[in-house]
Structure 1
Amino acid sequence: MLSVCMATYNGEQFVIRQLDSVLKQLNSQDEIIVVDDCSKDNTVQVIKDHYGNRVQVIVNERNSGPIKSFEKAISLARGDILFLCDQDDVWEDQKIANVLAAFREQEAVLVVHDAYVVDGSLQIIHQSWNDFNRNNINQGIVGNILKNAYTGAFMAFKKELVPLILPFPAEIEMHDQWIALVCMLKKKKIVFLDTPLVKYVRHGGNVTGMKKRSLMTQLKGRFRTISAIAGYKR
């Protein structure tokens, strides 16, 4: 059984396109868990109208941000393998098959893949997110604190990782960086696929956008991440 975990916020314009690309790759026993972070548009109703009970939708009591929303979705997941999913993107047709093959053939605990960078109309901006963002997947713990090279929308992991990563520490900047760091700390096998398996939409309205943060903000975030790692005891 597979679980797809999605966090939504004001995503009515793109979320059906994304969920359609996911659902056609799932079996009837697989699940999609959507945690909506108090959207002000019709995201929740649009999902319910299109999919009924096929997609589980949980609405936060108050706006809590993407980290807490993904934490809730992950905590509710029942699958043996969990896929993280952003509301804006589109999955390539062979994404799940390729990722499952990596789990099966390479004994991975965490699988991460590359993606096409596209605009809101799905026109390709760059053939590789990792090249576009200058990511270095092999940079280790220190390097990943300095610059996170892991994107949650391209992650899948075995359920055995859940008790090691949850609850997400309050100090962390983003959940994807934390998941990768815990895998490194616990020496769990991470497999990277250089095949682009998602159209990663960058349209300016994404929750995790490409806005340049100030140096002070970056430094504070890194210190908080170091603090979370230092206090990790699982």
Structure 2
Amino acid sequence: MKPLVSIITPLYNSEKFIVQTINSILNQTYTNWELILVDDCSTDATLQIVEEYTKQYSNMYLLKNQVNSGAAISRNKAILQANGKFIAFLDADDLWISNKLEFQVDFMQQHNCDVSYTSYYQIDENGNPLNKLVKALPKLSYNKYLKTNYIGNLTGMYNVATLGKITSPNLRKRQDWLLWLSAIKKSGKPALGVSQPLAYYRVRSNSISSNKIRLLKYNFLVYKKGLGFSYVKSIYYMCLFVWEQFFIKSKLIVAKNQV
């Protein structure tokens, strides 16, 4: 029997996108999965929409935060409840291509891989293609990954059987970067990248991650608070980050027709 994959999806006022997101999971060619959704005190129709799915599908579970707590706490709550051999993440506004799970699970088993991630496309807020492909590096060491976040969280998957359950620190942004850093460090092996694009990342006009300058302060907190680096060491790594992000990683974002 194929191994169970636990899919983690935090929710907050996601009524506009959550149906598309869940349907992209239901359309997976790989069928042995569970979906754990965690609502972070949504004030729109998100809960009602998701509850209709959980009534219909026995492998979908809805957890609810008592107070608004942020994505890290929501993801961690789901991780602790997960039963899968593999854990994957899909935020409530992103989408998977139908063979994403099947291709990635097979890839990880064939390569004895603890951590993997894939290339992905970018779409706009309305789901229109932006003609941009973000290419995955073939291998990603811990030291390379310290310099900038190369893993799109919607594409990442880790092996619980070999690594155990790995959770995120409670930072507002970039907590996923710290989770993948922990996973790669614990593995002792590089994360492996799948060159085939298997997901769609939705670029939101009002999101923090869409503003690279605003995001710099959250990157600094990854080094200072998340990793416990000194102020001087954090500044040093921020210099490496800027170089890596704007002069190296930027070259991995290409026009869709250049695959």
Give the TM-score of the pair, scaled to structure 2. Answer: 0.75
Shift of the alpha carbon at 1:99? Answer: 0.5
Match of 1:176 in 2: 176
Counterpart residue identity of residue 175, structure 2: H
In 1, distance between residues paired with 2:84 and 2:6? 5
In 2, distance between residues paired with 1:215 and 1:103? 32
Of 78, 82, 89, which aligns to 2:87? 82
Of 43, 46, 51, which aligns to 2:49? 46
Identity value in percent: 22
Counterpart residue identity of residue 118, structure 1: I
Match of 2:65 in 1: 60
Spell out, residue by residue over 1:86-129, the C-alpha distance to the aligned partner (whole angstroms, 9 max, x if none): 11112111111110111121111111001100112322113312
In 2, distance between residues paired with 1:162 and 1:45? 35
Give the TM-score of the pair, scaled to structure 1. Answer: 0.83
Shift of the alpha carbon at 1:218? Answer: 3.8
Shift of the alpha carbon at 1:221? Answer: 3.6
| Change over 3 Å in CA distance of 1:142–1:171 after alignment to 2 | farther
Match of 2:75 in 1: 70
Match of 2:107 in 1: 102
In 1, distance between residues paired with 2:9 and 2:171? 22
Match of 1:209 in 2: 209
Task: Tell me if the contact between 1:74 and 1:162 (Cα under 8 Å) persists in the aligned partners.
Answer: no
| Change over 3 Å in CA distance of 1:159–1:26 after alignment to 2 | farther
Task: Tell me if the contact between 2:123 and 2:203 (Cα under 8 Å) persists in the aligned partners.
Answer: yes
Give 3-state SS (helix, strand or coil) of 1:198's partner.
Answer: strand
1:1-234 mapped onto 2 (5 Å cutoff)? 1-25=4-28, 30-52=33-55, 54=57, 55-130=60-135, 140-160=141-161, 163=164, 165-166=166-167, 168-170=168-170, 173-186=173-186, 187-206=188-207, 209-212=209-212, 213=214, 215=216, 218-227=219-228
In 1, distance between residues paired with 2:182 and 2:143? 12
Flag the structure with larger Rg.
2
Spell out, residue by residue over 1:124-174, the C-alpha distance to the aligned partner (whole angstroms, 9 max, x if none): 1133124xxxx86756434433422222111111113664623x3346953
| Change over 3 Å in CA distance of 1:162–1:13 after alignment to 2 | farther
In 2, distance between residues paired with 1:107 and 1:30? 20
Match of 1:231 in 2: none
In 2, distance between residues paired with 1:58 and 1:149? 29
Task: Tell me if the contact between 1:122 and 1:201 (Cα under 8 Å) persists in the aligned partners.
Answer: yes
Q: Which moved more, 1:59-68 or 1:137-146?
A: 137-146
Counterpart residue identity of residue 180, structure 1: W
Spell out, residue by residue over 1:186-206, the C-alpha distance to the aligned partner (whole angstroms, 9 max, x if none): 214521112111111113255
Shift of the alpha carbon at 1:83? Answer: 1.3
Counterpart residue identity of residue 62, structure 1: V
Give 3-state SS (helix, strand or coil) of 2:15's partner.
Answer: coil
Counterpart residue identity of residue 23, structure 2: D
CA RMSD of aligned residues (A): 2.6
In 2, distance between residues paired with 1:136 and 1:172? 26
Give 3-state SS (helix, strand or coil) of 1:10's partner.
Answer: coil
Counterpart residue identity of residue 19, structure 1: I
In 1, distance between residues paired with 2:221 and 2:158? 28
Aligned length: 222
